[in-house]
Copies of this chain bind each other. A is one copy, B any other.
Amino acid sequence: MTTVHSDDQLNESLAHIRRLLERHRLLDALAHRQEGPKKDLLESLQHRQNLADVHKRVNALHAADAAYVLEALPPDERQVVWEQLRPDLAGQAFVEVGEAVREWLAETTPPDTLATVLETLDPDDLRYVREWVTPDVFAEVARTLASADRQAVEDAAHYDEDDIGHYMTRDMIAVPDTYSIQHVLSDLRARGELPPQTDRLFVVDARNVLRAAIPLQALVLLEPSVPVLAAAITDVTTVDARSPISQAVTAFERYDLVSAPVVDDRGKLVGRLTVDAVMDMARTQADQRALAQAGLSRGEDLFASPWDSARNRWPWLGLNLVTAFIASRVIGQFEGAIRGLAALAALMPIVASIGGNTGNQTTALMIRALAGDQVRFSGVHRLLTKEIVVSLMNGSVWGVLVGLAAIALYSNLALGAVMAGAVILNLVVAALAGVAIPFALHRAGRDPAYGSSVLLTFVTDAMGFFLFLGLATIFLI
């Protein structure tokens, strides 16, 4: 009988939990309102029965689904579910939830309870969530670890958050290069179970230097007497513990890896990176970029307090306000022209807006090319030339259209010509800035997805106003 975790079944299960929680809240409210010992007893029984149902339901969930429930619930109900989770499931869910909710859980859970939950984690997961718990709680959890595991957690602290070493697991199987398949098989049978996402074992020499890898299928298919080195693949894609994780994401995507050995600078095997960790990381990167492009430094708990949410949005709004004021001062220089011809005020946002839009198109293509590293290979001057040609073509088409529309609206031929000229020039500015800004950020060692759009819009706004109002002053006023 195959159990299918289809989305529908998960949703049905979630809806059930949701109903139980609503009933829980209702019973809670009733219990607080009514006195009288008899009613109280009845309700308390109902209450307990209801909580037992919640307990059963949530503990039947996969850890990732439990995490999803925790994220989707408002704080009061989230707390009920969190308290009902078995410690081991709670531990896994703590690893799986988003950062904002993890922070909330770490803050609201009593230290002793949190320690009990975290004690169920393996060293890799514990290391991963270490920064979210207080040193006291961490110390208490670390006491329960075997000394090798404690060492593993401590070692990992030497890696940056961006290093592959921070994301690798030490849970892997390495076999000496002197073994035969038979040796390996009996070792594995003694061990009983393989680590998750094990598609191959690693072969190391006496100094723990990685020499090769044996796919699991070789163990199934080959004669037991074959020496491992004869069965192993020596052309192994390795990753470096000190390299940025983004490099591993690229390698896994390109070479369709399930796992990769992590080596140090002397080629010694120090860990294993698995595709699930890489996929999580790729998703986190994509999410963070999407948020960053909208001006959010990090994700928000859906039910964060408005105060926390408001502050999360300030840095960007502050920056935006500064750039908007500068653009506003550009307009301020032309107040005389605007007083003379108020149509300028109505038309100038069009020039700025079309510049911002084309510039952001160029920027998005540049960011993609830079992320794929194709710009280094092909050279930025070719791209710049192309974008300028495109902007001149687009400028001619849209500039003339916009100019004709302005003439139709205001019956002013010169105004239309100025408008068309300003659009063409601002599109060229947009092409230049759209290539130069991400490229400059990239050269400065920063991810161009962060901040390119703000800077670009600033340039196209300010220049759009300047070009249009400047041309108008020269030719119309």
- The residues in A between 213 and 234 inclusive whose CB is less than 8 angstroms from any CB of B are 216-217, 219-221, 234
Say how far A95's CB is from chain B's closest CB, in angstroms.
12
Q: CA A372 – CA B303 in complex, angstroms? A: 15
| Chain A stretch 258-282: residues in CB contact (< 8 A) with chain B | 258, 263, 267, 275-276, 278-280, 282
B189 touching A221, Cβ below 8 Å: yes
Residues of B within 8 A of A354 (CB): 317, 320-321, 324
Hey, which chain B residues are within 8 Å of A293, CB to CB?
290, 293, 364
Interface: A39 (CB within 8 A): no
Q: Is residue A345 within 8 Å, beta carbon to beta carbon, of the partner chain?
A: yes
* Pairwise interchain contact A306-B393, C-beta atoms closer than 8 A: yes
Residues on the B chain within 8 Å of A394, using CB: 310, 313-314, 317
A64: CB under 8 A from chain B? yes
Q: Closest CB of chain B to A476's CB: distance in Å?
A: 15
Q: 0/1 per residue, A335-370, Cβ < 8 Å to B?
A: 110110011111111101110011011011101110
Q: Is the CB of B185 within 8 A of A255?
A: no
Copies per assembly: 2
**Complex CA distance for A324 and B4, rounded to whole angstroms:** 50
Chain B contacts for A328, CB-based, 8 A? 346-347, 349-350
Interface string of A1-19 (1 = CB under 8 A from B): 1111111000100100010
Taking CB atoms and an 8 Å cut-off, the chain A residues in 57-73 that contact chain B are: 62, 64-65, 68-69, 71-73
Check A374–B338 contact: CB distance below 8 A. Answer: no
Instruction: Quote the shortest CB–CB distance from A116 to chain B (angstroms).
Output: 25
A52 at the binding interface (Cβ < 8 Å): no
Asked whether A295 is an interface residue with its Cβ less than 8 Å from the other chain, the reply is: yes
Measured CA separation A306–B192 after assembly (Å) = 61
Most buried by B among A18, A64, A252: A64
Please tell me if A48 contacts chain B, counting CB pairs below 8 Å.
Answer: no
Which residue of the partner chain B has the closest CB to A339? B342
Chain A at the B interface: mostly helix, strand, loop or mixed?
helix
Complex: how many Å from CA A313 to CA B361? Answer: 8
A36 within 8 Å of B by Cβ? no
Q: Is A414 an interface residue (CB 8 A)?
A: no
Listed A/B pairs (25) with beta-carbon separation below 8 Å? A2-B235, A2-B267, A6-B240, A11-B376, A14-B377, A68-B373, A188-B221, A197-B258, A198-B217, A199-B258, A216-B217, A287-B368, A290-B368, A296-B361, A303-B382, A317-B358, A320-B354, A321-B354, A324-B349, A327-B353, A332-B409, A335-B343, A339-B342, A342-B345, A349-B352
7 nearest A-B pairs in the assembled complex, by CB-CB distance: A294-B364, A345-B345, A256-B276, A335-B342, A64-B254, A72-B377, A286-B286
Interface of A toward B, CB cutoff 8 Å: 1-7, 11, 14, 18, 62, 64-65, 68-69, 71-74, 185, 188-189, 192-194, 196-199, 210-212, 216-217, 219-221, 234-240, 243, 247, 250-256, 258, 263, 267, 275-276, 278-280, 282-283, 286-287, 289-291, 293-296, 299-300, 302-303, 306-307, 309-310, 313-314, 316-317, 320-321, 324-325, 327-329, 331-332, 335-336, 338-339, 342-350, 352-354, 357-358, 360-361, 363-365, 367-369, 372-374, 376-378, 382-383, 386, 389-390, 393-394, 397-398, 401-402, 405, 409, 449, 461, 465
